[in-house]
Structure 1
Amino acid sequence: MLKDDIDSLAPSRDFSRRSFVQTTVGSGFAAAVLPVSAQTLTTDTAGLEAGSIVIPVGEFSMPAYRAQPAGGKNLPVVLVASEIFGVHEHIADVCRRFAKAGYLAIAPELFVRQGNAGAYTEAGKLIAEVVSKAGDAQVMADLDATVAWAAAHGGDTGRLGITGFCWGGRTTWRYVAHNPRVKAGVAWYGPVARSYHPGDKTIVELAASIKAPVLGLYGAADGGIPVDTLTQLEAALKAAGNLKSEVVVYPDTPHAFYADYRPSYRKAAADDGWARCLAWFRKNGVA
Structure 2
Amino acid sequence: MTEVARRTFLKTSLAAGFALAVRPVAASTIQTDSQGLLAGPVNIGEMPAYRAQPELATQALPTVMVIQEIFGVHEHIQDLCRRLAKQGYLAIAPELYYRQGDPRQFTDTQLLVKELVSKVPDEQVLADLDRTAVWAATHGGDPQRLAVTGFCWGGRITWLYAAHNPKIKASVAWYGRLTGQTSSSNPQHPIDIAAKIKSPVLGLYAGKDQGISLESVEQMRKVLRPQAQPFNIVVYDNASHGFNADYRPSYHPAAAQDGWKMMLDWFKRFGV
Secondary structure class of the residue paired with 1:216: strand
Change (3 A) 1:239 1:97: same
Secondary structure class of the residue paired with 1:274: helix
Report whether the alignment pairs 1:208 with 2:201. Answer: no
Matched residue, 1:236: 223
Quote the Cα distance in structure 1 between the aligned partners of 2:159 and 2:181: 12
Superposition deviation, residue 16 in structure 1: 4.2
Superposition deviation, residue 197 in structure 1: 5.0
Contact 1:63 1:109 in 2 (8 A): yes
Matched residue, 1:149: 135
Quote the Cα distance in structure 1 between the aligned partners of 2:40 and 2:182: 29
Q: TM-score, normalised by structure 1?
A: 0.90
Contact 1:250 1:269 in 2 (8 A): yes
Unaligned runs of 5+ in 1: 1-14
Amino acid at match of 2:78: A
Contact 1:133 1:197 in 2 (8 A): no
Secondary structure class of the residue paired with 1:204: helix
Match among 57, 62, 68 for residue 53 of structure 2: 68
Unaligned runs of 5+ in 2: none
Quote the Cα distance in structure 2 between the aligned partners of 1:55 and 1:110: 11
Matched residue, 2:96: 110
Contact 2:6 2:99 in 1 (8 A): no
Contact 2:72 2:95 in 1 (8 A): yes
Secondary structure class of the residue paired with 2:262: helix
Matched residue, 1:131: 117
Change (3 A) 1:84 1:156: same
Match among 218, 224, 238 for residue 211 of structure 2: 224
| 1:233-272 map, 5 Å | 233-242=220-229, 244-272=230-258
Superposition deviation, residue 17 in structure 1: 4.4
| 1:53-64 map, 5 Å | 53-56=42-45, 61-64=46-49
Change (3 A) 1:218 1:16: same
Secondary structure class of the residue paired with 2:198: coil
Report whether the alignment pairs 1:41 with 2:30. Answer: yes
Secondary structure class of the residue paired with 2:192: coil
Superposition deviation, residue 26 in structure 1: 5.5
- Identical counterparts, % of pairs: 53
Q: CA offsets, 1:66-86, max 9 Å, x none?
A: 000003230000000000100
Superposition deviation, residue 234 in structure 1: 1.0
Contact 2:9 2:98 in 1 (8 A): no
Q: CA offsets, 1:113-151, max 9 Å, x none?
A: 000011101112211221111111100100000000001
Q: CA offsets, 1:148-174, max 9 Å, x none?
A: 000110100110000010000001111
Superposition deviation, residue 196 in structure 1: 7.4
Quote the Cα distance in structure 2 between the aligned partners of 1:76 and 1:269: 25
Secondary structure class of the residue paired with 2:157: helix
Contact 2:53 2:86 in 1 (8 A): yes
Structure 1 runs, 4 residues or longer, greater than 2 Å off: 15-21, 194-199, 239-242
Quote the Cα distance in structure 2 between the aligned partners of 1:21 and 1:240: 41
Contact 1:52 1:63 in 2 (8 A): yes
Contact 2:164 2:198 in 1 (8 A): no
Contact 1:131 1:196 in 2 (8 A): no
Q: CA offsets, 1:239-286, max 9 Å, x none?
A: 2333x1000000121000000000000000000000101011000111
Quote the Cα distance in structure 2 between the aligned partners of 1:101 and 1:86: 23
Superposition deviation, residue 214 in structure 1: 0.5
State how many pairs are aligned.
267
Change (3 A) 1:214 1:195: farther
Q: TM-score, normalised by structure 2?
A: 0.95
Change (3 A) 1:197 1:127: farther
Quote the Cα distance in structure 2 between the aligned partners of 1:117 and 1:196: 22
